[in-house]
């Protein structure tokens, strides 16, 4: 698999239990030849959790990408006019971000990065991680599946007994999903089997 020459916007939102999986895929993308422009949500920039400190994730992303992280709405806006990215990834994409994307709300650097990127009619790849995917956010998943230029990393229930409405993307499928989305295709199957 070759991602050489691709300029990839990579947005990280606050599904903190999946951030280390996301960092692994950033490393993988760079190993495959992609160039990453990182963008972080306000919650990831400022929240320490049992999964790691905000400083740990900031330092890790900057070390992996070798690029300054976009941390403000103002700094994300030029992505569109300057045509800086070939594809925009949101991994993890929380339920909050998913709902705002479906409704066109822009109040974080991640949402502005997606809005700025999509004005150039290019693909956006979403790697879900939300506890209410089969609840309040199901309509937003359906809404974005039907919107032009939005694609999903295959996802499924991560703990159907304890969290029956929760779904998470298969982060290891991100490189394959990038290739498909660049071609204007949704990687299939979009739903993975429950474990």
Task: Read off the CATH number of the domain in which 81 is found.
Answer: 3.40.50.1950
Chain segment 168-178, per-residue pLDDT in tens: 999 999 999 99
Tell me, yes or no, whether 107 lies in a domain. Answer: yes
Chain segment 58-114, per-residue pLDDT in tens: 999 999 999 999 999 999 999 999 999 999 999 999 999 999 999 999 999 999 999
For 48, 72, 140, 184, the CA distances from 113, given in Å and listed in that order, are: 24, 10, 19, 20
Give the chain's domain count: 1
Chain segment 126-160, per-residue pLDDT in tens: 999 998 899 999 999 999 999 999 999 999 998 88
Using left for φ > 0, alpha for ψ between -120 and 50, and beta otherwise, residue 124 falls in: beta
Tell me, yes or no, whether 193 lies in a domain. Answer: no
pLDDT reported for residue 174: 98
Tell me, yes or no, whether 110 lies in a domain. Answer: yes
Tell me, yes or no, whether 188 lies in a domain. Answer: no
Tell me, yes or no, whether 194 lies in a domain. Answer: no
Range of the domain at 25: 7-182
Are the beta carbons of 55 and 29 closer than 8 angstroms? no
Tell me, yes or no, whether 191 lies in a domain. Answer: no
Tell me, yes or no, whether 166 lies in a domain. Answer: yes
Tell me, yes or no, whether 118 lies in a domain. Answer: yes
């Amino acid at each position: 698999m070759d991602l050489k020459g691709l300029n990839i916007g990579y947005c990280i939102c606050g599904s903190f239990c999946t951030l280390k999986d996301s960092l692994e895929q950033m490393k993988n993308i760079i190993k495959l030849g992609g160039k990453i422009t990182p963008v972080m949500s306000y919650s990831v920039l400022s929240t320490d959790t049992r999964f790691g400190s905000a400083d740990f994730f900031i330092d890790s992303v900057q070390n992996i990408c070798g690029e300054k992280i976009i941390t403000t709405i103002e700094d994300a806006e030029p992505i569109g006019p300057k045509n800086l990215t070939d594809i925009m990834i949101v991994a993890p994409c929380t339920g909050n971000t998913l709902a705002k994307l479906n409704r066109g709300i822009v109040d974080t650097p991640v949402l502005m990065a997606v809005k700025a990127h999509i004005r150039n009619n290019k693909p956006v790849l979403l790697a879900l991680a939300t506890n209410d995917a089969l609840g309040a956010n199901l309509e937003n998943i359906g809404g974005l599946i039907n919107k032009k230029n939005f694609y999903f990393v295959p996802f499924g229930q991560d703990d159907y007994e304890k969290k029956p409405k929760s779904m998470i993307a298969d982060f290891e499928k991100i490189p394959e999903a990038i290739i498909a989305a660049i071609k204007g295709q949704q990687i299939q199957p979009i739903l993975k089997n429950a474990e």
